Structure 1
Amino acid sequence: MDKRIFSSFLSGFILASIFFSLISLINFEALPEKRLPSAVIMGVRKCGTRALLQFLSLHRDIEIAKEEVHFFNRKWSNGLDWYLSQMPTVKRHQISVEKTPGYFISFQAPSRIYAVNSAAKLLLIVREPVARAISDYTQIFNNRLARNKSKLAEFDNLAIKNGRVMGNYKPISTSIYHLHIRKWLDIFNPNSIHIIDGDNLIRNPLEELRKVEKFLQLDPFINNSMIYYNSTRKFYCMKKDSKNICLGSTKGRSHRPVTNQTIETLKKFYYPHNKEFFKIVNRTFSWN
């Protein structure tokens, strides 16, 4: 064989050997990839879902979807590939979490989530129902103003008419938790759903986050050094990558004015509904 040809062949062989040796060292299974979320924050709107998601992002083994995806309630026709494209890339040991509060009151979401991922863990955050309803209304009111739409009637007039609570008014009906949780429990095992006390998340976020870490079978990682109380904003904020991070200006904003009579009427209205919810989830909250 010609020496030049042999030399060229030998060089090519050596380079190929080095290439395949390097390839063999790469653990392709460990490369980041987009996967279905292991956990879904499915509600409830205006109970602290955004705060919960951001707090969970402090965990080294959690990556979060940056926006509400609405796949299982509004964008099902976009297909599973589209849904995956909305997820963050995660390493093999990590999990992804998405948040769409609208899932909780959706009729289709429970069965669709189960069909896509029957092993999904569901996170549900709830708070005192009257405060949640007023907060819900306040957001709708402010959103209309921001879009230069006609001014919304005051909450007192929308929530109660002729002395009767308007149970079909969305801010009111969303707070009737037992009506919505039933359809989830018809499909998912109760052990697949973890309920977070939204009122306690405001007062003691680390206590609630510890419970979530345990539910998700993650090592306890989030600690006091990552969370601090902002006396100006009057709620807890985060420290991440040497930066102080607080939620947007709408977090903790003042509610629209509501009369004491309306509040008391709604408390009486929700009382039996709360009792039914406590019975279903086998847990009580301090609302009553």
Structure 2
Amino acid sequence: MSTPDLRFFVLGAQKCATSWLYYCLRDHPEVVLPSTKIEHGYIGSPMYRENGRDWYLDRFPEADGGDVAGEVAVDYLLDAGAPAAIAEHVESPRLVALLRNPVDRLVSAYFWALRKNQLPSAPIASVLPFFLDQRPGFPERHPDRFVDELVRRGFYGQQLRPYVDRFGPESLLVVLHDEVRDDPAAVVRRVYRHVGVDAEHVPDSLSRRPKVNTRNRAVIALERMTEGRMLARVTDRMHRLLARVTEPPPELTVAQRTALQNRFRPHLEETEAVLAGLPEAHRPASIDLTDLWT
């Protein structure tokens, strides 16, 4: 028994069903993931640089020689230095990215940040003027990191291209959040096949719903007032239950959604160009994202 060599990385993006995929990968008998999921402990992160490679590898349980080791951390996409950091340790990694309509991702991330007390409790409309006053592409940066990341984490093409340039188009598999919603079993088979394990295994977590934000202000307020893993589990169950029985009201007007989509368009077009360069089996069935996500 030994710590296995790293083979694959799920890069993100945040709020695109990466936690769901983490559980599906963890369920596979040939896959080894860190015993504790620490988003900020990814290769090249400040936490990694502070604690070192041995600390990072010690997070993986011992495994048989034929097992495949990997990691899931959404900041691999956001951190521009991550591709070079991975290349220092893994010569030919298998990479997986999950993408979502960037406006839907923005709304989901906004409520996730509220739940984590990273943003002041206010309507989402309070942060929109800064973004809606910009030209397409969002060339200006917001001084608040968490606010700025609402749009920056949706610059998929810009974030994926360095991985393709460094490791080659055959290294990357891209899945859309829409595909996870419509046919999760097919998504899991594609991911298993890409990382090199038995694609016919059916994980226990297949029917597990991706994390949801019900936008219930009462539950969010409870989360913001207290801390602790036990309460986090309780409130997460509350969100999941509410999501099954209630339909959250739209947080954006039609005009606001259209305006945001138009400003994301340059990034969607760049993403389409990256997808077009991937092998057909490694890209979504539709790569016309501007049409799909309008």
Please tell me the TM-score bracket, short chain as reference: 0.7 to 0.9
Percent identical among aligned pairs is 19
Alpha-carbon offset, residue 40 of structure 1: 1.1
TM-score by length of 1: 0.73
Q: Does the CA-based 8 Å contact 1:40-1:98 persist in structure 2?
A: yes
Alpha carbons of 1:255 and 1:101: their partners in 2 closer, same or farther (altered >3 Å)?
A: farther
Q: Per-residue displacement from partner, 1:3-43 (whole Å, max 9, x unpaired)?
A: xxxxxxxxxxxxxxxxxxxxxxxxxxxx2x21342111111
Q: 2:187 aligned with 1:217, yes or no?
A: no
State the alpha-carbon separation in 1 of the partners of residues 128 and 84 from structure 2.
31
Alignment correspondent of 1:67: 37
Alpha carbons of 1:119 and 1:140: their partners in 2 closer, same or farther (altered >3 Å)?
A: same
Q: Does the CA-based 8 Å contact 1:127-1:197 persist in structure 2?
A: yes
Alignment of 1:251-262 (within 5 A): 257-262=251-256
Q: Does the CA-based 8 Å contact 1:137-1:171 persist in structure 2?
A: yes
Alignment correspondent of 1:88: 61
Q: 2:157 aligned with 1:178, yes or no?
A: yes
Structure 1: which 5+ runs fail to align? 1-30, 234-247
Moved runs in structure 1, 4+ residues, more than 6 A? none
Amino acid at match of 1:174: R
Larger Rg: 1
24, 36, 47: which one pairs with 1:55?
A: 24
Other structure's SS at 2:198 match: coil
Amino acid at match of 2:18: T
Q: Per-residue displacement from partner, 1:209-240 (whole Å, max 9, x unpaired)?
A: 1111211222223238874477xx9xxxxxxx
RMSD (Å), alpha carbons:
2.7
State the alpha-carbon separation in 2 of the partners of residues 224 and 175 from structure 1.
29
Q: Per-residue displacement from partner, 1:233-264 (whole Å, max 9, x unpaired)?
A: 9xxxxxxxxxxxxxx53569558823332211
Q: Does the CA-based 8 Å contact 1:43-1:124 persist in structure 2?
A: yes
Alignment correspondent of 1:287: 293
Q: Which has the bigger relative contact order, CA under 8 A and spacing at least 6?
A: 2
Other structure's SS at 2:116 match: helix
Alpha-carbon offset, residue 123 of structure 1: 1.3
Q: Does the CA-based 8 Å contact 2:13-2:97 persist in structure 1?
A: yes
State the alpha-carbon separation in 1 of the partners of residues 167 and 96 from structure 2.
12
Q: 2:93 aligned with 1:120, yes or no?
A: yes
Alignment correspondent of 1:131: 104
264, 270, 277: which one pairs with 2:271?
A: 277
- Return the structure number with greater helix share: 2
Number of equivalenced pairs: 238
Amino acid at match of 1:272: P
- Return the structure number with greater strand share: 1
Structure 2: which 5+ runs fail to align? 142-147, 213-235, 277-282
State the alpha-carbon separation in 1 of the partners of residues 177 and 185 from structure 2.
12
Alpha-carbon offset, residue 199 of structure 1: 2.0
Q: Does the CA-based 8 Å contact 1:59-1:221 persist in structure 2?
A: no
Q: 2:49 aligned with 1:79, yes or no?
A: no
Alpha-carbon offset, residue 67 of structure 1: 0.8
Alpha carbons of 1:255 and 1:38: their partners in 2 closer, same or farther (altered >3 Å)?
A: farther
